[in-house]
Structure 1
Amino acid sequence: MPKQRISLADLARLANASHAASGLAHERSAGTFPSELEPQPAGRRSSSEPHPLAGFDANANAISQAAHPTVADLSECLFFSPGDGRIWLQDQRMVLLHSESLGSLRRELIDSIGLDKARGLLTRAGYVSGARDAQLVRKQWPEADPTAAAMAGTRLHALEGVVKVELVHASYDATASAYEGEFLWHNSSEDDEHIAAYGVGGSPACWMQVGYATGYVSTLFGHLVVFREVSCRSSGDAHCRVIGKSVDLWDDVQQDLRYLNAQAFVGSTAAAENGVVPVADLEAYAAANPGPDQTMVGASSAFNAACHMLQRVAPTTATVLFTGESGVGKEMFASTLHRISPRAAQPFVAINCAAIPETLMESELFGVERGAYTGAGTSRAGRFERAHGGTLFLDEVGTLSFVAQGKLLRALQEGEVERVGGSKTIAVDVRVIAATNVDLRQAVREGRFREDLFFRLNVFPIHLPPLRDRRDDVPLLMGHFLAHYNKRHRRSVAGFSQAAVKAMYNYAFPGNIRELQNLVERGVILVGDGEAIEVHHLFSSGESLAQDVLSLAWRDGGPATLSLLGARPAPAPDAASGTAPGASQGGPLEQAELALLRQAIRRCGGNLSAAARELGVSRATVAYRAKKFGLAV
């Protein structure tokens, strides 16, 4: 018999019914939040409050305690099933733990791996928790104002029994993607346990809470926001004070980022890359920064687990097999493995097995002697020889033919190769790293891959999860690629609108990180300098968005834009919109095309040729579309 799930808010209403009847008012003093679980009156954004996409400047007067989601709203998401031992916060399973048990775990971590590593581990655990809560708020209240959504994190943290948060000030400029905030923390559970174990020391100790704040706000706004504890009860202060800023607003952020990275080889370069490269420096920048894939970026638990395995196997010579969908970053992980291994000073040679014709695969891998076949005018070393002393990366190894598989197996077993047309063997010292996006075990069962070769390659497998399973990394990746392409294309794009951030979080990313990278580059190219990337800048090539995510927002006297702010009201075409009364309004994709076309023509001053070059299409196409939509040029 299924157990009944009881909302904590329902229990609170029953317990506090008499107080509610007597008109007990909630505390609304500056910067404080009610700890009661009583329902609060529904709040609406007043006409004096800014639009969600225009940014906000929050203080005690600007943020109403009744703004959704309230404490009562959040408590509605908390469910208990006492009969079968489960608790949920919406669709996330939760547990109630004794604070002392977490304190005991904290002490053991510090005593066994050291304070610095323990701090990093707990900071990353807090980051994941904050990111999860931000996803819950986005999913449950998709149309909440940024003010209310941001403050919901403080209420969730209090509801979860971690700390009471008092707002000092907070501001967010959506156009420039710039966030700054200052908060006071009261009754920190981390401080209680740290002081009980070690007494008052000389440094802050609210590590998980700092990670939580970083994960929550970064996930909410779609770019990395770093929080730092500047005073703490554990270091003798009266209360804890934290400051949060967008990563590029900090002057010395590397120390903070170090605790978010599971390994030393992981690190976002968003702070270092922020800005636009002068034209004179482009050649030097291109030489020093060949691509964004050279930097490992991530903070999710799945990403950190893969990084720990990478660090574990790096000092050895074991063969490593990377598995995962196309676009998850297998080649980047492989090159990082080589870079942190003892072979880093030796060659790293990569070959895409799917891109080499079967007739040339043997000569590519093992080399060819002069005169071996028509056209072989000179002897040439193969990839194994060129990688001698270093690492050979075999990408898409599952596409090799049976003949090539047999020859590869012999080279791995014997540690020597024989060139095509040669008569002597050549000893090679090569570490082999392979990658595939197919299930090799299934391929073995179907007779498409040699079982003995599979076991030879599968010495140390590392699975890289798809991006949809590591969404905590999305804001870090968005900020990383935005900074990179701002420099590469000499642009100064401000950031992402709230609508674009929501769309990115709801998108399934079938192409994984490679697709996210392409979407951000597309947005950087399409948007004007100083502007924020909107939804139609990102998803303009047939990508499929959920209907409850993509909608059309209309502005009085202005153009229509794709956003996530709600359903589309029926507009009345007029001259101000630039659309003829008889022009087809179409669906969301056609509206996206219309918005892109209108913006390009406006930026180019009505010059259709220039607009065509900006959009990457012919002038005839632009002229046809402009006529179709009734745009005056």
Structure 2
Amino acid sequence: MKTTKADSGETEWFGVDVEDLSARLRFNPHDAHIWLENERMLLLHVEAFAVMRQELIERLGIDAARQVFGHIGATAGARDAAIARKASPRAGALEAFKTGPRLHAIEGMCAPEEISLDVDATAGMLSGEWIWRNSAEAEAHLRAIGPSSEPVCWTMLGYASAYSSAFMGHPIVFREVECRAMGAPHCRTIAKPAALWEADAEHGRSLGFKLTPDTPAGAKPAHDHGTNKDRDEDWSDREADLLAGKLGIVRRLAGLDEPVLLLGEHGVGKRRLARAIHRLGQRSAGPFLAISCARSEAADLEIDLFGREKSGDQPARPGRIERLKGGTLVLEDIETLSHRLQARLLHLLAEGVVERSGGGQPRSADVRIIACATHDLQRAVREGSFRTDLYYRLGMLPIPLPPLRERREELPRLIRHFTDHFATRHARRIQGMSIEAMDYLLSHDYPGNIVELEAMLGRAVIMAPDDGVIQISHLLSAADPSPPSFFRLSEGGALVHPEAPDPLLDLDAQARHMIRGNFSIEAFEAELVRRAVSQARGNLSQAARLLGITRAQLAYRYARIKGPAADE
């Protein structure tokens, strides 16, 4: 499928609506979070970017700095490839691919102008030529270093190469042949499959990062969801990092055999973290057992854990601790333990032996104890209902787990993780998530923590149509009455809160503008046309029906709004 500059118009950007993409950019000033789809973003001054560039070049040399910035760009490009697929799940390969240049513009890197583009989605081949106007990277280089004898848009080249490679599933390399830093009016780039560049040494050296057929930065192609086996392994191997953000601590504790205390609200993932400690530790070949100390009477729990000697008609019964040789025992809700069981547990930790109820000889116990508790444990210690010596014995290696509402930066990974897990588990194909659904997930307070999020996404994957998009109605049995607290970008680039009144529908405001002479019928009509085209996702015929006019009338007005490039 091939397009040229002369072809640009409505069909070229079908499904790539700037307002729709901008709506995926959300601001939460209260939590200092900026999200693009489900990726956390960071606003950076161009002057600060210039200083960073100067420091890296002076400290590392220009070749090493080129590779660093190339890697940074490649990481961003691979991420945006996934966002592009979500933004245009129903679009064809060409239309969906063109989301990337729009995202690059929204992110402030450059204003790309397509000269030519040839895409063969079946073969995974892409070639083309672009003008990059207003390159922020070239501007930063000129501020920091001054004019250059070679192209300097290293981050943008890494981005474009990685984005295209991830999208096509084959290595695509961009080269910059003209650059503002070299005195050209704009930057100009050419893209070809990597194999063709190897046979053509005309366009200078590469950025130094490796593009493999699997993807540039080690991720899978944006259109490849992987095999079921890969995702089942992923669920196990990445569980600690995704669900607790404590993989470094887990690895540090893996070689030890001391008790661990996990502190946090219900549902924050204490049991999952305990399982990760067991799985990555030296007892991974042994059994793993989790018991809630609040689930039964103290006497029953005592026999279950410590066992009993033979008494009358009752046979001897070894306890769980005895039977877990070489394994790990997780004691949940440990703050509910009776004083008697606290004393017996302290004896086990101090002496490494267990005595069955009813007497008998002490027996050696080969088990690691991981205790889980809420913050009620600390109150119980202060009030004297939980032994101080046992608390400190268990708390030699404490790991606090904050509630999910205090670690929102983990939400995108968790959302992807659970969505992929349940899609694999239930053999469902999910194309993505609506903006409203993502808004809700990123702004919800999660009183049930990770367990609540897991249940939401499990329900959503089941309820969403196969090969469809998750909507907010699929997440909840009843919509949350609290609107999301995110700000979004209006078409004019202003921050708008969801609760703010729509100025177009605010009759009082429009009447005031009329009285003061500030009302423009042309601007009002243009806004109506833009909104209709946006709601129809670029389909002019459908937009015309929404407004009750003919397609020709709408196309004329839309072309006048968009300028000469709009297709009539």
TM-score range normalised by the length of the shorter chain:
0.5 to 0.7
User: Is the contact made by 1:389 and 1:429 (CA closer than 8 Å) also made in structure 2?
Assistant: yes
Give, in angstroms, the shift of residue 293 of structure 1: 6.5
In structure 2, distance between residues paired with 1:49 and 1:427? 76
Match in the other structure for 2:483: 547
Match in the other structure for 1:580: none
Mapping of residues 4-153 of structure 1, within 5 Å: 57-58=15-16, 96=48, 98-100=51-53, 103=56
Letter in 2 for 1:546: S
Letter in 1 for 2:228: E
What do the CA deviations read for 1:205-233 (whole angstroms, capped 9, x no partner)? 8599869x99xxxxxxxxx9999985477
- The answer to whether structure 1 residue 322 and structure 2 residue 262 are counterparts is yes
Give, in angstroms, the shift of residue 510 of structure 1: 1.5
The one of 403, 410, 417 equivalent to 1:473 is 410
User: Is the contact made by 1:496 and 1:534 (CA closer than 8 Å) also made in structure 2?
Assistant: yes
In structure 1, distance between residues paired with 2:167 and 2:410? 13
SS of 2:218's equivalent?
A: helix
In structure 1, distance between residues paired with 2:237 and 2:11? 40
Match in the other structure for 1:422: 359
Greater relative CO (CA pairs within 8 A, separation 6+):
2
Letter in 1 for 2:52: S
Query: What is the aligned-residue RMSD (CA, Å)?
Result: 6.1
SS of 1:354's equivalent?
A: coil
Match in the other structure for 1:154: 104
Match in the other structure for 2:438: 501
SS of 1:448's equivalent?
A: coil
* Fraction of identical pairs, as percent: 27
- The answer to whether structure 1 residue 440 and structure 2 residue 377 are counterparts is yes
SS of 2:361's equivalent?
A: coil
In structure 2, the CA distance between the partners of 1:435 and 1:527, relative to structure 1 (3 Å rule), is: same
Letter in 2 for 1:526: M
In structure 2, distance between residues paired with 1:514 and 1:351? 18
The one of 503, 521, 538 equivalent to 2:458 is 521
Match in the other structure for 2:318: 381
In structure 1, distance between residues paired with 2:129 and 2:333? 50
Letter in 2 for 1:329: G
What do the CA deviations read for 1:48-95 (whole angstroms, capped 9, x no partner)? 699xxxx9643xxxx66x99969xx99x999xxxxxxxx999998978
What do the CA deviations read for 1:115-136 (whole angstroms, capped 9, x no partner)? x9x99x9799979x99xx99xx
In structure 2, distance between residues paired with 1:535 and 1:335? 32
Give, in angstroms, the shift of residue 385 of structure 1: 1.6
Letter in 2 for 1:296: R
The one of 290, 296, 302 equivalent to 2:238 is 296
Give, in angstroms, the shift of residue 440 of structure 1: 2.9
Letter in 1 for 2:292: N
User: Is the contact made by 2:309 and 2:356 (CA closer than 8 Å) also made in structure 1?
Assistant: yes
Give, in angstroms, the shift of residue 299 of structure 1: 7.3
SS of 1:271's equivalent?
A: coil
User: Is the contact made by 2:270 and 2:372 (CA closer than 8 Å) also made in structure 1?
Assistant: yes
In structure 2, the CA distance between the partners of 1:389 and 1:528, relative to structure 1 (3 Å rule), is: same
In structure 2, the CA distance between the partners of 1:499 and 1:360, relative to structure 1 (3 Å rule), is: same
The one of 258, 279, 291 equivalent to 1:351 is 291
User: Is the contact made by 1:522 and 1:538 (CA closer than 8 Å) also made in structure 2?
Assistant: yes
- The answer to whether structure 1 residue 530 and structure 2 residue 470 are counterparts is no
In structure 2, distance between residues paired with 1:226 and 1:473? 28
Match in the other structure for 1:623: none
Match in the other structure for 1:5: none
What do the CA deviations read for 1:210-266 (whole angstroms, capped 9, x no partner)? 69x99xxxxxxxxx99999854779xx9969799xxxxxx983697249xxxxxxxx
In structure 2, the CA distance between the partners of 1:148 and 1:400, relative to structure 1 (3 Å rule), is: farther
Give, in angstroms, the shift of residue 99 of structure 1: 0.9
Letter in 2 for 1:404: L
In structure 1, distance between residues paired with 2:434 and 2:325? 49
Greater CA radius of gyration, 1 or 2?
2
User: Is the contact made by 1:227 and 1:242 (CA closer than 8 Å) also made in structure 2?
Assistant: no
TM-score, L = length of structure 2: 0.55
Give, in angstroms, the shift of residue 416 of structure 1: 0.7
- The answer to whether structure 1 residue 336 and structure 2 residue 298 are counterparts is no
Give, in angstroms, the shift of residue 272 of structure 1: 3.3
Give, in angstroms, the shift of residue 415 of structure 1: 0.7
The one of 310, 316, 341 equivalent to 1:370 is 310
In structure 2, the CA distance between the partners of 1:67 and 1:414, relative to structure 1 (3 Å rule), is: closer
Give, in angstroms, the shift of residue 417 of structure 1: 0.6
What do the CA deviations read for 1:100-122 (whole angstroms, capped 9, x no partner)? 576389969xx9xxxx9x99x97
Mapping of residues 236-251 of structure 1, within 5 Å: none
Match in the other structure for 1:177: none
Letter in 1 for 2:238: M
Match in the other structure for 2:228: 273
Match in the other structure for 2:397: 460
Structure 2 segments unaligned to the other structure (5+ residues): 36-40, 85-95, 118-125, 146-152, 180-187, 194-211, 487-497, 506-568
In structure 2, the CA distance between the partners of 1:299 and 1:332, relative to structure 1 (3 Å rule), is: closer
SS of 1:355's equivalent?
A: coil
